Structures are given as C-alpha cells and as structure tokens.
C-alpha cells in the first residue's frame, strides 16, 4: 500500500474492543478490532504503529490482584522509594522506581477501569509484550514494517496533569537522535534526542480518551521510524543503506537513577543529608 508523507499524521482509535479478560489472546482481539476489508483506508499498512494501553496488556496477561492488597502490591512492585507525600485519611502517596525502572506514583499499580475489587499491575515485561503483539499482527496482516507501542499514564515532575508515555515498544525507533545532524543554519544539533515513542503515546492518548473504552490506536505517517524488520537481518541493522539501529525497546528511555539529578525527592534528600550532617559530629 502507499504510505503517507512523513509530515502528515493520522491517529485513530477504533471502538469495539470490549472487556479484556485474563487469558485472552490479546493479539487476536486487537487483530480482530483492526481487521478491515482490503481497500478500506483504515486497513493496517506498512509503516503503521499500533498503540495499546498497558491496561489491556496487563488484563490479558492476568496481572490482576485483589484491591485489598493494593498497598502490598505497590510495595512488591517497588525497587526504590523515591518520594512520599502524606494524604489525610489515605495511605501516603508513594512515588517509587518500580521493577521496570519507571518512576511512578503507586509504582504504576492501577485501580481505575479494572474489575470491581481488583487492581492491575503493569505487564511483566512490556517490551516483550510489544514484540509478541507485533509478531502476531505482522503475521496476520502480512505487513513487514509495523510498530507496536505499549503506553501507560504518568505524572511528571514540575508540571501538573498526566501524559501518556511508552513503557513498551517493538519495531519502532524509540528515540530520534539528531546529534549528528545540523540545524537550518548548518550548526551541529548538539543535544537533541527526541523520545519518539513517548510522543507517539501522548498523541494516541488524545484520540483514546480515558473513559472511552478505546484502548487501541493506530498512528500512521511515522514510517521513517518504522524500519524493515529488525532481528531478521543477521547484522541487526536496518536495510536500505540506513544506519544500523539496535532493536531496543522503551526500557532504553529509562534514565538510570545514578545519572538522574532527581533520583530522590527533595525532602527525602534533605532529610538524609541532615541526618548525615548531624552524624558527622559523632
């Protein structure tokens, strides 16, 4: 099929997936949702990116625990407590680094849009989930260059409001590294690495909405970030003479905590410093 120019993006989120349940074959459900007659403009095409929420991935993978165990589930998912905030009448809000390296409130344990009495953990390995979904959709639809992104909703430092980010990715270049390029004045672009899959996640959230029951979106027009299949060329490089791009997942966008200027909440760091300062006298 023809491919739209890179400077035009279409994003849509078909209705009708229905409730996903533990043990469901997610690839089959998503495939059925996206199946269109030949010639339908919404039929999946080369260069498309399929975006799914982590919620439906988690549901299909059975990552459900009883809501009574929510605080324990957060503890279990926590690698490192980053910051906490007291909340009247509620357990303290815990911003933690979870086992995926993601810094998130409540470790990403989710209590909305889940069956009554349950909460959802994030997928065990969202990059692997993305790869499996991509493999199945490529095979079913006979498409070579297909990307898959798994999203979650995250808070940020310094800004109110949540945005969707990518926690899993396959078949799509996660970052656009322009550091070798030049700007329109011919000067080197020194520090510009764009988190492409995070921007894809945010774009898809705009069509999905939170309460709308449309957890699957298609993004068309980003074919430049969807190279021919990785892992099939023996050198792992992109064909067509382009630069070799490692088949990395969204995990690669996680900044290692030792490199992070905000690895610890301000109050927590201050308290630790204060204690150490006091102890320095002993």
According to CB under 8 A, which residues from 21 to 80 bind a second copy? none
Total count of residues recorded for the chain: 282
Q: Which of 72, 25, 50, 1 has the alpha carbon at shortest distance from 204?
A: 50
Neighbour tally for 10: CB within 10 Å: 13
Which one of 1, 189, 233, 246 is in contact with a second copy (CB under 8 A)?
A: 189
Strand order from edge to edge, sheet including 103-105: 78-87, 90-98, 103-105
What lies within 8 Å, CB to CB, of 165 at 6+ separation is 151, 152, 153, 154, 198, 201, 202
Q: Which positions from 203 to 242 touch a second copy by CB under 8 A, shown as an x/- string? A: x-xxxxxxxxxx------xx--------------------
User: What would the two tokens of residue 151 be?
Assistant: 């999203």
Count of residues touching a second copy (by CB under 8 A): 91
Distance CA 210, CA 37 (A): 29
The DSSP letter of residue 232 is: T
Query: Closest separation between CB of residue 49 and a second copy, Å?
Result: 10
Site for a second copy in 139-178 (CB under 8 A): 153, 156-165, 174-176, 178
Query: Closest separation between CB of residue 1 and a second copy, Å?
Result: 18
- Which helix (H) or strand (E) covers residue 51, if one does? strand 49-53
Which one of 115, 231, 236, 239 is in contact with a second copy (CB under 8 A)?
A: 115
Query: Closest separation between CB of residue 15 and a second copy, Å?
Result: 7
Which one of 76, 135, 238, 265 is in contact with a second copy (CB under 8 A)?
A: 265
User: What would the two tokens of residue 162 be?
Assistant: 């949540």
Distance CA 19, CA 113 (A): 10
- Which helix (H) or strand (E) covers residue 83, if one does? strand 78-87
Query: Closest separation between CB of residue 232 and a second copy, Å?
Result: 26
Which one of 12, 65, 132, 135 is in contact with a second copy (CB under 8 A)?
A: 12
**Residue 142: strand, helix, or coil:** coil
Contact flag: residue 246 with a second copy (CB under 8 A)? no
Contact flag: residue 99 with a second copy (CB under 8 A)? no
User: What would the two tokens of residue 247 be?
Assistant: 């088949």
Contact flag: residue 87 with a second copy (CB under 8 A)? no
Contact flag: residue 15 with a second copy (CB under 8 A)? yes
Considering beta carbons, is residue 193 or 246 the nearer one to a second copy?
Answer: 193
Query: Closest separation between CB of residue 113 and a second copy, Å?
Result: 4
Stretch that binds a second copy, among 24-32, 121-129, 236-244, 272-280 (CB under 8 A): 272-280
Considering beta carbons, is residue 65 or 136 the nearer one to a second copy?
Answer: 65
């Amino acid at each position: 099929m023809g491919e739209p120019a890179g400077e035009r993006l279409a994003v849509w989120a078909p209705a009708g997936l229905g409730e996903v349940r533990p043990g469901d074959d997610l690839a089959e459900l998503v495939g059925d949702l996206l199946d269109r007659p030949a010639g339908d403009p919404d039929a999946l095409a080369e260069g498309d990116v399929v975006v799914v929420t982590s919620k439906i991935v988690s549901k299909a993978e059975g990552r459900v625990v009883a809501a009574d165990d929510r605080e324990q589930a957060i503890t279990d998912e926590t690698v490192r407590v980053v910051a906490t905030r007291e909340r009247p009448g509620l357990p303290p809000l815990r911003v933690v680094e979870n086992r995926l390296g993601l810094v998130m409130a409540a470790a990403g344990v989710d209590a909305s849009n889940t069956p009554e009495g349950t909460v959802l953990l994030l997928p065990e390995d969202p990059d692997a989930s993305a790869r499996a979904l991509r493999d199945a959709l490529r095979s079913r639809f006979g498409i070579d260059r297909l990307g898959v992104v798994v999203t979650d909703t995250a808070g940020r430092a310094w800004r109110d409001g949540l945005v969707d980010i990518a926690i899993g990715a396959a078949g799509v270049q996660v970052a656009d590294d322009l550091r070798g390029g030049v700007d329109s004045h011919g000067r080197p672009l020194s520090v510009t690495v764009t988190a492409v899959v995070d921007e894809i996640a945010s774009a898809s959230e705009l069509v999905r909405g939170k309460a709308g029951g449309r957890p699957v979106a298609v993004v068309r027009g980003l074919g430049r970030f969807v190279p021919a299949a990785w892992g099939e060329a023996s050198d792992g490089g992109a064909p067509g003479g382009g630069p070799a791009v490692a088949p990395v997942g969204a995990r690669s966008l996680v900044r290692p905590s030792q490199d992070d200027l905000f690895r610890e909440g301000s109050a927590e760091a201050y308290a630790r410093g204060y204690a150490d300062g006091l102890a320095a006298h002993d």
